[in-house]
Amino acid sequence: MIVGVPKETYPGEKRVALIPAIIPSLIKGGLEVHIESGAGAESGYPDSAYIEKGASIATSRLQLFEKAKIIVQVRQLGANPEQGQTDLPFMQEDQIIIGIAEALSNPHALRELNTRKVMAFSMELMPRITRAQSMDILSSMGTIAGYKAVLMAANALPKMFPMLMTAAGTVAPAKVLIIGAGVAGLQAISMARRLGASVEAYDLRPAVKEQVLSLGAKFVDLPLETGDSEDKGGYAKAQDEDFYRRQRELLGKVIASSDVVVTTAAVPGKKAPVLITADMVAAMAPGSVIVDLAAERGGNCELTKKNQTVVAHGVTIIGQENIPSLVPYHASQMYSKNIATFLLHLVKKGELTIDMEDEITKGTMLTRKGEIVHEQIREILGPLAGIRAEEK
């Protein structure tokens, strides 16, 4: 069974779905791997490295889609709405498409896939269960985003992070606030601590307090009712506007005293909650930095501009999207491990095994034989779930 790895076409996307080092494990599992020429070049993996590990190089994208039963990508159509359209004519009935689909944010793209009757899987919908930890791309990419966010903040801040005692006097440590203590937030805390900053963190889920303290940061306790703050998967749940208004009021003083704020609050499939208003930015000291990891979903800061760095009231606000792609070598390595583990979950001894009773398979499958099969997506689309784009 052939697995095809096309070159990513989303603007600025430098990652690749499979790296050379993972190829032998897939071959051992009964798979043959074909790579579009140059697919790994921008992440530091040349064609020659794939050939050394037993992969074949496809001469064209069309050839890759024609030969491969399974296509693995970083961003499939839903997460690549414009350039991804060009791959639709290449897709074959019952072909398997695996990658980030942004299915909750862009469910209408699934009706486009239905015109080709492919079987699509969305990696970001991986259930949060122990068996699926090694397939969890949100955790692996969140780790990279949290790491890189702190480095970006340190680069933009006109201060040093660590406390220094020198002959020229003592330099006080930078004050860093991390909002959201999920995987990205915890990595950001760890990185800021390594750089010597004084770190505080806030999360509406009281359960993460122990994790924050274990990393040497101070947990910001706010007098808010947070009993319904966490879903069954461990993610923060969206709250009503009254909650966010009160939260902003209480967070204001902490934000105003911070040199750096890294925000990570995102709710899958929904616009990111605004946690920092323009007035709150104005209250920060000139030279302060905000890195908004929710920029791709509208931003946690009211003044965030997607893919831009803006200065407002003397405060630098970084709204870079797709931060893991800024570290493409290791981002590809981690994503590749997630993808390979998922592939070997679906393919046993070279044979495709689709078990709809399995929680991982059922939780990630989007479409099959021209139908949208994911229950949550069907609920979002309502009557449109049964209508293909061609029938609209």
| Residue with tokens 């915890």, as numbered in its chain | 186
Residue type, 322: N
Q: Is 133 an annotated catalytic residue?
A: yes
Active-site residue identified among 63, 105, 193, 235: 235
Active-site residue identified among 122, 139, 190, 239: 139
Q: Is 247 an annotated catalytic residue?
A: no
User: Taken in order 78, 79, 85, 91, is the CA torsion positive or negative?
Assistant: negative
Q: Is 136 an annotated catalytic residue?
A: yes
Q: Is 336 an annotated catalytic residue?
A: no
Residue type, 343: L
Token output for 391: 């029938």
Q: Is 75 an annotated catalytic residue?
A: no
Active-site residue identified among 56, 63, 83, 128: 128
Active-site residue identified among 15, 73, 87, 136: 136
Buried/exposed 223-238: b ≥16 CB within 10 Å, e otherwise: eeebeebbeeeebbeb
Active-site residue identified among 85, 92, 133, 214: 133
Please list the active-site residues.
128, 133, 136, 139, 235
